[in-house]
Chain A
Amino acid sequence: MSRSGRGASHSRTQLGDRYRAWVHHHRLSAADSLNRILERPFSSLLTWLVIGIALALPVGLSATLQSAQALSARWDGGVQISVFLKPEVSAESAQSLAEQFDGRGDVATVRFVSREEALAEFSLQSGLADVVLSLEENPLPNLVLVTPVAALDADAIAGLRADLAGREEVEEAVLDMQWVARLAQLMELGRRVVLVAGALLVAGVVLILGNTIRLAIESRREEIVIVKLVGGSNGFVRRPFLYTGLWYGVGGGLAAAILVSVALWFLSVPVDELARLYGSGFSLRGPGFIGALNVVLLGGALGLAGAWLAVSRHLSDIEPR
C-alpha cells in the first residue's frame, strides 16, 4: 500500500524512530521474558540446574585436566637423552662435542662419560669385574648424557633427540624416559575424552533448551497467532523466545560456574594434602573469574542456539487459521 500518498504524518515512521523502537522492543522482550521465567521460580530453577549440571561436568573435567597438564609440564625436568658416540670418535672430539651440545639453547646440562669411565662404572655396578677384565678391548662407546631445559614439551624433546642423533659422530641417541611420551599420550586421551563428553553434553543442553522453548511456544500459541494477524513479522514473534532461551542459558551457565567452583573447592583440600605427601606441587585450580564468565557466556550462547532451533522449527508452523 502506498502510505506515502497520505503524507509523512500517516504511518510512515522515521528511521531513527524505528531504530529506537527496535531497541525498545528488545529491552521489552528481554525484561518480559525474564519476568516470565521468574514468575515460576521452581520450574525455572530446575531448568537452570539441569543445564548447570550438564555444563559443570565438562567444565570441571577440563579444569582438572588443565591442572594435571600444568603438573606434567613440570615433570619434564627429569628427562635425559643418552647420546652414544661412534667407536672411532676420540675422547678429545667427544669432549668438544659435549661442549657444543652444552651451548644449545634447549639443553640444560651435559655430562660426558668416557668409555673408560663407563667400563669402570659398569664393572663396579654389575659385579662382573672379572668378566670385564678378561675382555681384550673396551666394548663400550663414549657417552654424552644430555638433559633438556625444563620448559620443553614432549614434541620438542623428541625433536632434540632426533637432532642429536643426526650428528655424524653419533651412533645412537636414546630418550630414556619413554614415560614422557606415554604421559603426553594419556593427557591427549584425557583431553579427547573431555572433548567428546563435552560435545555430547553441550548437544544435550541445546536439545533441553530447544524443548523448553518449544513448550513455551506451545503455551503462547494463541498470542503468536494474534501477533501475526496484526502484522507481526517472524522476527518480532521470535524475539521474546530467543530472550527466554538466552536467560535459561545464562542461568544454567551461572549454575555450572557455581557447581564447579564448589566441587573443586571441596576436592582441593584432600588433593593438596595428597600432593604434599608426594612432594609434588600439584593443586586443583578452579575456573577463576574469567573462566566462570566464559561458562556463563557459553551457557548464554547455547541458550540462544537451542531457542533458535526451536523457534525456526516451530514458529513457522503457527499460522493464523
Chain B
Amino acid sequence: MITFDRVSMRYDEGHDALRDVSVTIDPDDLVFLTGHSGAGKSTLLRLIMLMERPTRGQVIVDGRNLQKVRRRGIPRHRRDIGVVFQNHRLLLDRTVFDNVALPLTISGYDHREVGRRVRAALDKVGLLDRERAMPEVLSGGEQQRVGIARAVVGRPRILLADEPTGNLDPALSAEIMQLFEEFNSVGVTVLIASHDLALISRLHHRIITLREGRIVGAGA
C-alpha cells in the first residue's frame, strides 16, 4: 500500500532526515513507526502526505508514484489519506461537528450526506453527544478523538498518525490505540508514529524502527 524505494531526504540546512530508506507497508496492515525524536518518523509521514519531496528515491502510495503528483494534485492526494496529529490541529472557532465535517466539505459532499457521515464518525469515537461543543471545552483525549473522527470521516484507505498519544495518559493512550485497531480491522491501512515503546510492544503489530534516518528494524 505504501512503498519507500531507496528514499533519502536532506533538508535545506544539510540535515539528513532519511538515508536510503526502503520499506513496504502491506494493505490492511497496522504498522508502528518508532525511534527517538529526530530519527525521521515525522519526515517519513510528511513524505507520504507530500508535505515534503524526497531528495532521492521514490515513494509510492496506493499505486501512485508521488513523484508524478504535481503541485495542483496535492490536495486530491491528501484527501485520500486520513491524518491524525499529535496536537490535534482542530479549528478552535468551529464546533466539533464542523471540524469533523471539514474533509467532506472540501471533497464536495451533499450536506445531508455530510451530516450522516459526521455523526457516524463521532459515534465511532464516542463523541456523538458533543457535536455542538467547541473544541476548547473538550479534554485532551476528547480533542484527539475529534481529530481521529476527522481523519476517518472521508473513509480513507490509509490512516496516518503522528504521535497520537503523545500528550495522553496510559489509559487514554490504550483507548486511542484500540480505536486505530478497530479501523484497521475494517480494512484501513494504518501507520502510527510513536515513541511509546511500552504501549506499542504490547499490541503485537509490525514495528519499524528508525535511527538517525535509517531503518534498523523492519519487523515481521
Contact = CB atoms under 8 A, between A and B. Distances in A.
A273 interface: no
Contacts of A3: 80
Given A11-B154, A24-B111, A321-B51, A230 B83 contact: yes
Contacts of B171: none
A71 interface: no
Contact of B157 (A1, A21, A223, A321): A1
A20 B154 CA distance: 18
Contacts of A177: none
A2 interface: yes
Given A227-B106, A228-B75, A1 B64 contact: yes
Interface stretch (A109-117, A155-163, A231-239): A231-239
**Residue of A222, A232, A236 with most chain B CB atoms under a 10 A cut-off:** A232
B14 interface: no
B164 interface: no
B155 A20 contact: no
B91 A223 contact: yes
B64 A231 contact: no
A23 to B, nearest CB: 10
A63 B79 CA distance: 53
A265 interface: no
A231 B79 contact: yes
Contacts of B107: 11, 13, 231
B89 A226 contact: yes
Contacts of A320: 51
B197 to A, nearest CB: 27
A21 B51 contact: no
A22 B108 contact: yes
Interface in A4-18: 6, 10-11, 13, 17-18
Contacts of B154: 11
Chain A interface size, under 10 / 10 to 19 / 20 to 34 / 35 or more: 20 to 34
Contact of B102 (A225, A227, A233): A227
Interface string A211-224: 00000000000110
B123 interface: no
Contact of A18 (B62, B64, B75, B108): B108
Contacts of A20: 110
Interface in B15-71: 49, 51, 61-64
B103 A13 contact: no
22 contacts: A1-B61, A1-B63, A1-B80, A1-B157, A3-B80, A17-B110, A17-B113, A21-B110, A25-B108, A223-B93, A226-B102, A229-B49, A229-B83, A229-B85, A231-B75, A231-B77, A231-B80, A231-B107, A232-B75, A232-B106, A233-B106, A319-B51
Given A1-B157, A2-B63, A234-B75, 12 more contacts: A1-B62, A1-B80, A2-B62, A6-B157, A17-B108, A225-B89, A229-B78, A229-B89, A231-B79, A231-B103, A233-B106, A320-B51
Interface of B: 49, 51, 61-64, 75-80, 83, 85, 89-91, 93, 102-103, 105-111, 113, 150, 154-155, 157
Interface of A: 1-3, 6, 10-11, 13, 17-18, 20-22, 24-25, 28, 222-223, 225-234, 236, 319-321
The 8 closest A-B pairs by CB, nearest first: A231-B79, A231-B78, A21-B108, A233-B75, A1-B80, A18-B108, A1-B62, A17-B110
